[in-house]
Amino acid sequence: MDSWLNDWPWWAQFALVVILLAVSAFFSITETSMMAANRHRIRHLANRGHRGAKHTQELLGKTEALLSVILIGNNLVNTIVPVLLTGIALHAFGNNGSVLSISTGIAAVLIIIFCEITPKVIGATYPERISIVTSWIIRPLIVILKPVTWLINVFVTLLLKLFRVNTAANKNTQMSPEELRSVVLESTHFIPNKHRSILVNLFNLENIQVDDVMTPRSRMEVLDLSRPIEEVIHQLETCYHNKLPVCEEDSDKVIGILAVRKALSLLGDEELTHANFKDLLSEPYFIPSGTPVLQQLQYFQENQERVGLVVDEYGIVQGLVTIEDILEELIGEFTTSIPDLAIKTKWSNEGDYLADGSASLRDLNRTLGLNLSLEGPKTLNGLLLETLEDIPDNDVSVKINDVVMEIIQVDEHTIKTVRIYKPNA
């Protein structure tokens, strides 16, 4: 090869080496950018009519042909460059063993720096941008080198069959829910924080039951029609809710759901009786305990209901859940019709928090950034009673999941007030 190079001036020989190094760098940067490109983003651009993205998507669908062309070109150039540099060095400095070793070492360093590491880093940094540009050059190369790549792929296929390698087994590109969730979490530069939070909450809904979002029975406001009419009217006038479960003497037996707005329209009647309110009652809608929240949201829509009573296997009411409770799990709290006495503020300046015993563990985790288990009891009172296995006295402290809690107030059956200390970061 050095015979025809001898007739070239030194700058032409040097230019040829630079060109070959650039070609090798092109193949390296193309290979990395194509493999690192986000296929979903490329598909999105292609669907919007971007021609370069369409070419890239087409090439990514022909992985074997794409890699064959890139590897053939890259290895061919990387083989020629050391030969050229060695020929140039021997012609310039004479046939010497040291010259041969030094020229080979220089060729290796040049290939590693300019043809491997630097192009691959650049390709991995801007994968979509570069792959879209280089696709215009790679497409015609695939057509030109098709006979060569076909012949090489025949030998490769035979070799893979010889070693019993099944290449079709790993061609499933569908993403699992967890993988899709990870993509959403990592898309900080493309999706606003609020939108990303909603998408993540949507994935989490699959693992949440109505028991996790319901208002517990102890905190439900129930209208008792066995009480004097004056007390019933007063409760309606001071009610924060749009709909109330209604009972009669037996508080565990709900006879219907009352629309408060309709009931308030009757308050001007001087001869108002309990029967007038009973006429406004709608049939209660019962939900089995353990129903998944996502499934219940669909049931609410199908049955055109907004409020449901959660019952256990014995038909005993455990709590009340509304469509707003489910939507708040998805988009965050937005209702302001009732003050939540169990979840009032965040950490105090002293690093503690005074919580009601009936506070939901899910709300505490969300408000205070805790990690209390949601597998068992749903309230702070239930968690403490399960842990202590007894109704404790005041001033008893307990540590659960690295969270120190001090019991402040207890009545005969439940823990009323708890001071929670902020865990060390």
Do 233 and 193 have their domain in common? no
Do 76 and 203 have their domain in common? no
Look at 358 and 193; give whichever has higher pLDDT.
358
Backbone angles phi, psi at 369, to 5 degrees: 70, 35
Do 270 and 224 have their domain in common? yes
Mean pLDDT of all residues belonging to the chain: 82
Question: Is residue 88 situated within a structural domain?
Answer: yes
Residue 232's domain spans which residues? 209-331
In the predicted model, what is the mean pLDDT of residues 232-258?
87
For residue 156, the model assigns a pLDDT of 81
| CATH number for position 407 | 3.30.465.10
Do 17 and 151 have their domain in common? yes
Helices 51-60 & 10-36 angle (0-180, nearest 10): 80
For residue 348, the model assigns a pLDDT of 82
Task: Determine the Cα–Cα distance for residues 261 and 416; give it in Å rounded to an integer.
Answer: 33
pLDDT band at 188; cut points 50, 70, 90: low
Domain boundary residue among 155, 186, 207? Answer: 207
For residue 287, the model assigns a pLDDT of 93
For residue 310, the model assigns a pLDDT of 93
Stretch (H or E) spanning 319: strand 317-322
Q: What is the per-residue pLDDT across 301-325, written as a single tens digit (0 to 9) for each?
A: 888 888 999 998 888 898 999 988 8
DSSP, residue by residue, 343-360: S-----TTSEEEEETT-B
In the predicted model, what is the mean pLDDT of residues 176-202?
70
For residue 145, the model assigns a pLDDT of 86
For residue 359, the model assigns a pLDDT of 83
Task: Determine the Cα–Cα distance for residues 387 and 396; give it in Å rounded to an integer.
Answer: 12
Do 39 and 28 have their domain in common? yes
Q: How many domains does the chain have?
A: 4
Do 33 and 162 have their domain in common? yes
Do 143 and 243 have their domain in common? no
Q: What is the per-residue pLDDT across 125-145, written as a single tens digit (0 to 9) for each?
A: 998 899 999 999 999 988 888
Do 185 and 215 have their domain in common? no
For residue 339, the model assigns a pLDDT of 46
Do 67 and 158 have their domain in common? yes
DSSP, residue by residue, 4-56: HHTTS-HHHHHHHHHHHHHHHHHHHHHHHHHHHS-HHHHHHHHHTT-HHHHHH
DSSP, residue by residue, 384-409: HHHHHSS-PPTT-EEEETTEEEEEEE
Do 318 and 409 have their domain in common? no
Do 255 and 179 have their domain in common? no
Task: Determine the Cα–Cα distance for residues 281 and 292; give it in Å rounded to an integer.
Answer: 27
Do 187 and 244 have their domain in common? no
Question: Is residue 267 situated within a structural domain?
Answer: yes
Count Cα atoms within 13 angstroms, Cβ side, for 260: 18
Q: What is the per-residue pLDDT across 256-315, written as a single tens digit (0 to 9) for each?
A: 999 988 888 888 766 788 888 889 999 999 999 989 988 898 899 888 888 999 998 888
pLDDT band at 15; cut points 50, 70, 90: confident
